[in-house]
């Protein structure tokens, strides 16, 4: 079995566990007044689980492969050392650091830092445009979540109150 099918099989197992949690364990603790609501807190996780299962099954069963031969090169698991695994691992580390630094640095600082550092790792060298884009994107997301949706996000570091 090809590497993409193995990865899809792992994602399928994860989505099955996620779907089980979304369908059976999340709804048990709902208060009675929310059980009559058409949209529950578990609605989006249920949709994600079903879509993830469908896409993973599509790949595992091989429906995404075309009948015609293409020039696309499959991932060769024997040559994984030639791929840019360092960048991928650093980005995963940055995601963990972002999650841990979100409260101490505030949303604006942590998100700006994550976006700018990840873009630099991926090869962006136009720092002026990068800074402007990261600042605009960070503020735009904060404004939409805080002001439009009304969900509180601490914008500044903890010591600024």
Q: What is the pLDDT of residues 16-33, one digit of tens each?
A: 999 999 888 887 777 777
**Is 70 exceeded by the pLDDT of residue 68?**
no
48-62, 119-133, 141-155: least confident range: 141-155
pLDDT in tens, 69-120: 555 566 666 777 777 888 889 999 999 999 999 988 989 999 999 999 999 9
Structural domain boundaries of the chain?
3-68, 85-160
CA-based angle 107:110:115, to the nearest 5?
A: 115
Rounded CA-CA distance 88/65 in Å is 26
Asked if residue 67 has pLDDT above 60, the reply is no
Residue with tokens 């999340």: 26
Dist CA 79 CA 127 (whole Å): 33
User: Which pLDDT belongs to residue 161?
Assistant: 62
Contact criterion met (CB below 8 Å) for 108 and 156: yes
What secondary structure, in 3-state letters, does the chain show? CCHHHHHHHHHHHHHHHHHHHHHHHCHHHCCHHHCCCCCCCCHHHHHHHHHHHHHHHHHHCCCCCCCCCCCCCCCCHHHHHHCCHHHHHHHHHHHHHHHHHHHHHHHHHHHHHHHHHHHHHCCCCCHHHHHHHHHHHHHHHHHHHHHHCCCCCCCCCHHHC
Split at pLDDT 50, 70, 90, the class of 54 is very high
CB 84 within 8 Å of CB 43? no
> d(Cα 24, Cα 27) in Å, to the nearest integer?
6
- Residue-level pLDDT at 160: 72
pLDDT of 157:
78
């Amino acid at each position: 079995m090809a590497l993409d099918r193995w990865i899809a099989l792992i994602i399928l197992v994860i989505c099955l566990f996620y779907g089980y949690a979304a369908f059976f364990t999340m709804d048990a603790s709902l208060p009675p007044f929310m059980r009559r609501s058409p949209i529950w807190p578990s609605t989006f996780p249920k949709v994600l689980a079903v879509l993830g299962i469908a896409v993973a099954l599509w790949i595992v069963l091989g429906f995404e492969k075309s009948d015609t031969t293409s020039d696309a090169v499959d991932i060769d698991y024997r040559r994984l050392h030639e791929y840019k695994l360092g960048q991928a691992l650093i980005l995963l580390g940055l995601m963990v650091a972002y999650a841990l630094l979100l409260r101490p640095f505030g949303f604006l600082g942590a998100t700006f830092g994550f976006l700018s550092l990840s873009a630099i790792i991926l090869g962006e060298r136009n720092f002026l445009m990068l800074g402007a884009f990261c600042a605009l994107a960070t503020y735009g997301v904060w404004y939409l979540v805080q002001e439009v949706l009304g969900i509180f996000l601490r914008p500044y570091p903890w010591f600024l109150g």
